[in-house]
Structure 1
Amino acid sequence: MGYLLLTGAIAAEVAATTAMKYSEGFSKLWPSLVTGLGYLVAFALLAQTLKTVQVGTAYAIWAGVGTAAIAAIGTVFLGEGLGVAKLAGIVLIIGGVVLLNLGGAH
């Protein structure tokens, strides 16, 4: 159940960060509200996750997967560039999360 909650926390954080881009510095109401609500939900779900998943593991997965997802969204939907360094960074993030889970997540 912990990892299901963590998945929800990641999805909420990614939605909030994406909405923040569209809020234009919190000058647009609806994207600003989605940003605030998304982060509230993300932290609430992350807090529940920490009841069953180690804090280091949960936070690393939350931050790493969220960062990789936002980078992908930026590239695919927002017209941001994807150079070798950015792609390598995403691969390293994903690799780090995998290693963390293999090396002591349980």
Structure 2
Amino acid sequence: MNAYYYLAIAICAEVIATVSLKAVKGLSTPQPLLLVIAGYGVAFWMLTLVMRTVPVGVAYAVWSGLGIVMVSIAALVLYGQKLDIPAMLGMALIVIGVLVIQLFSKTAGH
């Protein structure tokens, strides 16, 4: 399987785990805690597979950059947490940075 499929799985698992953290409520709710543990477990497992072929810096840039944006979208949908214009602009710059790496960098391992 292509490393970028593993990376997509890692990102989605990390987003699920991170968004579930809010629902854990200081470890008082076990179901979301299971999502957190499983989500981060899958995320890091997939990330180790990605790093077999994709440089660490590139893998982490894509993973964290897209994760930030996806967590923000999920927080808006699930918790009604809205971002202001500076936050959205900052995230747009992160996405642009990830696109530059993927489209133009020879380091990206295509």
Q: Would the aligned equivalents of 1:23 and 1:31 in 2 still touch at CA under 8 Å?
A: yes
1:19-58 Cα distance to aligned partner (Å, 9 max, x none): 1111112210010011011101100000011011111110
**Cα distance in 2 for residues equivalent to 1:22 and 1:68:** 19
Deviations 1:1-35 (A, max 9, x none): 10000000001000001111111122100100110
1:103 to 102, 105, 110: 105
Letter in 1 for 2:105: G
* Percent of paired sites with the same residue: 37
SS in 2 for 1:27: coil
Report the Cα distance in structure 1 between the residues aligned to 2:42 and 2:36, rounded to whole angstroms: 10
Counterparts of residues 25-44 of structure 1 (less than 5 Å): 25-44=26-45
Matched to 1:32, the amino acid is L
- Contact 1:9 / 1:46 at 8 angstroms: preserved in 2? yes
Structure 2 unaligned regions, length at least 5: none
* TM, length-normalised to structure 1: 0.94
Tell me the residue number matched to 1:16. Answer: 17
Deviates more, 1:57-66 or 1:74-83: 74-83
User: How many residue pairs end up in the alignment?
Assistant: 106
Unaligned runs of 5+ in 1: none
Give TM-score, length-normalised by structure 2: 0.91
The equivalent residue for 1:74 is: 75
- Aligned-pair Cα RMSD in Å: 1.0
The SS at the match of 2:34 is helix
